[in-house]
Structure formats: structure tokens, C-alpha cells
């Protein structure tokens, strides 16, 4: 069972305030900065497919991979409903698949931080490398270690109501500084107010935060040129106020 097995049915509702269109436009702008304005794009760790659909609507030829069967099922259903032909498949981002000759690979919403060891991170990067054309571009985000250490972890509660459902998510985090890791323990209460029923879902998400020098070393080990790093949705350097950072790297022509 994947980490999102029980979480998947409520995932989109929990992140309904996430602006996928704006994020997609931002990523496209950074890809254009690298000379990639269109073509084939692989969404590595695509989740329920909302980024992938946004890219497809903007003219990209998109494919998507995710470890969760449940999320891939949601992505396929969403694409079919939208009349979009997107080959989604269930697969591990750390295992090279059949995807080849892509102009760009993106991996969004901290997929890199779900890789909790350097070996796993390198394996993920090698999957992206194998999928790209020579000189192709890889853009991904990650948890920036400087911000995690500066801010620390805290318990967070999120409540969303969409009649007849009321969702309450409690996120309690354990920080292991020696391992540069955070375990986020989610407790989700899904209440059906009409039928007076409630369901509880518990999941632990094991995350790793990274520093740019670690990312660069893993990219180099995977055949990429040095990356440019910035705080998410900006072109400014990673900073202590924003856990989310991203990197843009180019596949070396010669491995």
C-alpha cells in the first residue's frame, strides 16, 4: 500500500485552494527561460493529474507517472472527463521506465523530498535523465533545509467544509535533525453531516529536506549540469521563510 492509499480520495478537496494554473504558468515560464517552450513533458509524481492536465491544456504532449494506484485512477478519470489523451501509468519515480525523448520533465509538490536518502534521490534523478532528450530540462521542487531548520515544525489543523462533508486534517510533525528528516503524521476526519457518519484516516509521510549543494551533487551523479535554485514561485534565492524551493537542471549532452 502506498502512502496515499487512504488519503487519495480526499486529496483534491484538501488542496482545492492550490492554484495549479498559476503554478503551471510559472513552470512554463522557467522552461521557456531554458529554451523549452513546447513539446513533450513528463510529470514525474503526477498525483491526481491536475498539473498534467493544465500542461496538456496549454498545448504540451504530456505523460504522467505516480506510485499511487489510487491517484493514477483519479488522474485517468479526470483526463477522460476533460477529453484529454494523457498516458498516465502507475510506477516508481525511482525506477527508470519506458519514457524517452521528452523535452522537459517536471516533478512538483515535493516529490524529491519523499526521497529520504541520497541513493533514492539519485535514482529519481536518473529516471528523469533517462526520459529526457539530450539538453532537455528538468524542473522540480523540494523542501529547503535552511527554512526547515530556521522555522522548526509545528502542529497544524486544516478544516474544509463542502456540504455535506466536513474534513478536518491534523498534521503533527516529528523532526529528526540528524537524519534531516520530518515525519508528518496526518489524522484526517471525514464527516458526512447528512448521514451523521465519520471516518478517520491516519497516515505518516516521511520527508527529507535538502540543501542546494546536496541537490547539485545528486544531479551531477545522475548526468545533469549544475542547477539553478530559487524559492518556489519566485526567481529569488532560497530563503529562510519559505520551505519550498525548486531547481532547474539541464541534461548533459554527454553522460
125 has pLDDT over 60: yes
In a domain, 105, yes or no: yes
7 has pLDDT over 80: no
Considering only residues 188 and 103, tell me which one the structure prediction assigns the higher pLDDT: 103
Considering only residues 18 and 244, tell me which one the structure prediction assigns the higher pLDDT: 244
Residues 132 and 243 in one domain: yes
Residues 166 and 237 in one domain: no
Residues 41 and 138 in one domain: yes
Residues 130 and 245 in one domain: yes
Q: Categorize the per-residue pLDDT at 80 as very low, low, confident or very high, splitting at 50, 70 and 90.
A: very high
90 has pLDDT over 50: yes
In a domain, 3, yes or no: no
Number of domains in the chain: 2
Residues 46 and 130 in one domain: yes
CATH of the domain at 108: 3.40.50.150
In a domain, 156, yes or no: yes
Residues 91 and 113 in one domain: yes
CA nearest neighbour of 141 among 58, 30, 217: 30
Residues 81 and 160 in one domain: no
In a domain, 255, yes or no: no
6 has pLDDT over 60: no
Residues 52 and 83 in one domain: yes
d(CA 39, CA 103): 6
- The pLDDT score that the predictor gives to residue 209 is 98
In a domain, 49, yes or no: yes
Residues 190 and 133 in one domain: no
Q: What would the mean pLDDT of 136-145 be, rounded to a whole number?
A: 98
5 has pLDDT over 80: no
In a domain, 63, yes or no: yes
pLDDT tens per residue, range 33-76: 999 999 999 999 999 999 999 999 999 999 999 999 989 999 99
Other Cβ atoms less than 10 A from the Cβ of 13: the count is 12
- The pLDDT score that the predictor gives to residue 31 is 98
Residues 130 and 64 in one domain: yes
The grid coordinates listed for 34 are 531554458
In a domain, 237, yes or no: yes
DSSP state of 202: E
Residues 177 and 228 in one domain: no
- The pLDDT score that the predictor gives to residue 1 is 41
Q: What would the mean pLDDT of 104-125 be, rounded to a whole number?
A: 98
In which region does residue 158 sit, left (phi positive, over 0), alpha (psi from -120 to 50) or beta (all else)?
beta
pLDDT tens per residue, range 15-37: 788 899 999 999 999 999 999 99
- The pLDDT score that the predictor gives to residue 3 is 47
Average pLDDT, rounded, for the chain: 93
Domain encompassing residue 152: 147-208
- The pLDDT score that the predictor gives to residue 2 is 52
- The pLDDT score that the predictor gives to residue 212 is 98
Give the position of cell 539538453: 135
Residues forming a β-bridge with 184: 173, 205
pLDDT tens per residue, range 181-220: 999 999 999 888 888 989 898 999 999 999 999 999 999 9
In a domain, 1, yes or no: no
Residues 193 and 88 in one domain: no
Amino acid at each position: 500500500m502506498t502512502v496515499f492509499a487512504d488519503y487519495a480520495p480526499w486529496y483534491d478537496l484538501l488542496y482545492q485552494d492550490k492554484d495549479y494554473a498559476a503554478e503551471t504558468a510559472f513552470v512554463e515560464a522557467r522552461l521557456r527561460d531554458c529554451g523549452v517552450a513546447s513539446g513533450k513533458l513528463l510529470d514525474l509524481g503526477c498525483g491526481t493529474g491536475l498539473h498534467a492536465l493544465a500542461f496538456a491544456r496549454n498545448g504540451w504532449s504530456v505523460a504522467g507517472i505516480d506510485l499511487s494506484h489510487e491517484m493514477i485512477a483519479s488522474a485517468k478519470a479526470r483526463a477522460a472527463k476533460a477529453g484529454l489523451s494523457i498516458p498516465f501509468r502507475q510506477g516508481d519515480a525511482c525506477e527508470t521506465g519506458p519514457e524517452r525523448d521528452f523535452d522537459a520533465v517536471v516533478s512538483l509538490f515535493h516529490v524529491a523530498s519523499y526521497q529520504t536518502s541520497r541513493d533514492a534521490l539519485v535514482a529519481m534523478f536518473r529516471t528523469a535523465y533517462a526520459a529526457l532528450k539530450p539538453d532537455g530540462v528538468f524542473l522540480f521542487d523540494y523542501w529547503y533545509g535552511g527554512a526547515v531548520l530556521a522555522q522548526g515544525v509545528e502542529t497544524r489543523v486544516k478544516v474544509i467544509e463542502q456540504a455535506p462533508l466536513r474534513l478536518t486534517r491534523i498534521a503533527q510533525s516529528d523532526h529528526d535533525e540528524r537524519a534531516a528528516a520530518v515525519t508528518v503524521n496526518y489524522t484526517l476526519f471525514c464527516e458526512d453531516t447528512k448521514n451523521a457518519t465519520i471516518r478517520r484516516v491516519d497516515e505518516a509521510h516521511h520527508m527529507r529536506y535538502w540543501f542546494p549543494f546536496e541537490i547539485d551533487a545528486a544531479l551531477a551523479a545522475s548526468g545533469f549540469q549544475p542547477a539553478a535554485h530559487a524559492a518556489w514561485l519566485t526567481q529569488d534565492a532560497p530563503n529562510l521563510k519559505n520551505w519550498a524551493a525548486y531547481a532547474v537542471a539541464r541534461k548533459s549532452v554527454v553522460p
